[in-house]
Structure 1
Amino acid sequence: MTTDELRYDDQGEIPLAGYAALASTFAAGGTVVAVLSRMRGVRLPQQVPPWDVALLGTATFKASRLLTKDKITSFLRAPFTRREEEGAAGEVNDAPRGGGARRAVGELLSCPFCTAAWVAGGLVACYVCAPRGARLLCAGLSAVTLADWLQYAWTWTDQKVEG
Structure 2
Amino acid sequence: MASTARKVAAVADDRARSEAEAYRQGQDRPLGGYVVVMAVFTSVVTAVAGIAAATRRPLPRLSVKELVLLTVATHKLSRTITKDAVTSPLRVPFATYAGTAGPSEVMEEPRKESSLRHSFGELLTCPFCLDLWIATGFAIGLVFAPRVTRLVTGTFTALAGADFLQLAYAAAQRAAE
The two structures have a TM-score, normalised by structure 2, of 0.86
Matching residue's letter, 2:150: R
What corresponds to 1:103 in structure 2? Answer: 118
* CA distance in structure 1 between the aligned counterparts of 2:89 and 2:130, rounded to whole angstroms: 16
What corresponds to 1:139 in structure 2? Answer: 154
Q: Looking at CA atoms only, which structure, 1 or 2, has the larger radius of gyration?
A: 2
| Structure 2 residue matching 1:89: 3-state secondary structure | coil
1:79 aligned to 2:67? no
> What is the aligned counterpart of 1:126 among 141, 146, 163?
141
* CA distance in structure 2 between the aligned counterparts of 1:25 and 1:157, rounded to whole angstroms: 45
What corresponds to 2:40 in structure 1? Answer: 25
Shift of 1:10: 2.4
> What is the aligned counterpart of 1:63 among 77, 86, 89?
77
* 1:20-75: CA deviation from partner (whole Å, max 9, x where unpaired): 11111111111111111122221112x31111111110110000001100011111
What corresponds to 1:42 in structure 2? Answer: 57
Matching residue's letter, 1:91: E
Report the number of matched residues: 161
* CA distance in structure 2 between the aligned counterparts of 1:59 and 1:70, rounded to whole angstroms: 15
Matching residue's letter, 1:126: G
Shift of 1:5: 6.5
* CA distance in structure 1 between the aligned counterparts of 2:57 and 2:19, rounded to whole angstroms: 49
1:51 aligned to 2:65? yes
Matching residue's letter, 1:108: L
* CA distance in structure 1 between the aligned counterparts of 2:46 and 2:19, rounded to whole angstroms: 35
Can you give the 5+ residue segments of structure 1 that lack an aligned partner in the other structure? none
Q: Residues 38 and 86 of structure 1: is their aligned pair in 2 closer, same or farther, counting only changes over 3 Å?
A: same
CA RMSD across the alignment: 1.7
* CA distance in structure 2 between the aligned counterparts of 1:97 and 1:26, rounded to whole angstroms: 21
- Deviant stretches of 4+, over 3 Å: 1-6
The two structures have a TM-score, normalised by structure 1, of 0.93
| Structure 1 residue matching 2:24: 3-state secondary structure | coil
Q: Residues 128 and 4 of structure 1: is their aligned pair in 2 closer, same or farther, counting only changes over 3 Å?
A: closer
Q: Residues 44 and 90 of structure 1: is their aligned pair in 2 closer, same or farther, counting only changes over 3 Å?
A: same
* CA distance in structure 2 between the aligned counterparts of 1:76 and 1:109, rounded to whole angstroms: 9
What corresponds to 1:158 in structure 2? Answer: 173
